[in-house]
Amino acid sequence: MKTLSIQVVVLILAVLAGYGCMGPDEVPKPDDLISEQNYIDLLIEMQHISTYRDAQPDSINADSLKALVYGKFGITEEQFLRSHTFYQKQVERQLIRVQEVVRQLENEEQYIQAHIDSVKTARRDSTGG
């Protein structure tokens, strides 16, 4: 559980750092803008890949996973980056989107932890421990 909390903090800091790197110019809305919900879902997937990369730092599989995620959503990396740049310029809305990502990641973590706990309990009960 602690690992996810650290990952969430890193995600938030990365988003906020992105704001500092952006210039004051308005970013035009891309013609192929990813829907806001798909964008949120993509951020969640990217966070999972980042967590995987942290657990397997020597692995080149993270890039393959990104390609699979882009394929799953029917987009290109360039389309994601254009949409990401556009959405990051909307600071207040982006913070809300990031909060939604964090909320969903925390829900996933709670679900996984509950499953782990139930498996541990079942094993303990079956061994009489």
Summarised one tens digit per residue, pLDDT across range 43-63 is 999 999 988 888 877 666 888
Nearest to 54 by CA among 100, 7, 102: 7
Summarised one tens digit per residue, pLDDT across range 11-49 is 555 655 554 455 555 789 999 999 999 999 999 999 999
Tokens 């994601």: give the residue: 80
Q: How far apart are the first and last CA of the chain?
A: 25
Task: Give the integer Cα–Cα distance in Å for 120 and 31.
Answer: 50
The two structure tokens encoding residue 69: 């995620």
Q: Is residue 105 packed enough to be buried (19+ CB in 10 Å), middle (13-18) or exposed (0-12)?
A: buried
Domain regions of the chain by residue span: 2-23+30-114
Can you give the pLDDT at residue 125? 84
List all residues 6 or more positions away from 84 whose beta carbon is below 8 Å from its beta carbon: 39
Summarised one tens digit per residue, pLDDT across range 71-124 is 999 999 999 999 999 999 999 999 999 999 999 999 999 999 999 988 988 888
Task: Give the integer Cα–Cα distance in Å for 65 and 49.
Answer: 7
Task: Give the integer Cα–Cα distance in Å for 110 and 98.
Answer: 18
- Residues 46/66, Cβ–Cβ less than 8 Å: yes
Can you give the pLDDT at residue 52? 84
Can you give the pLDDT at residue 42? 96
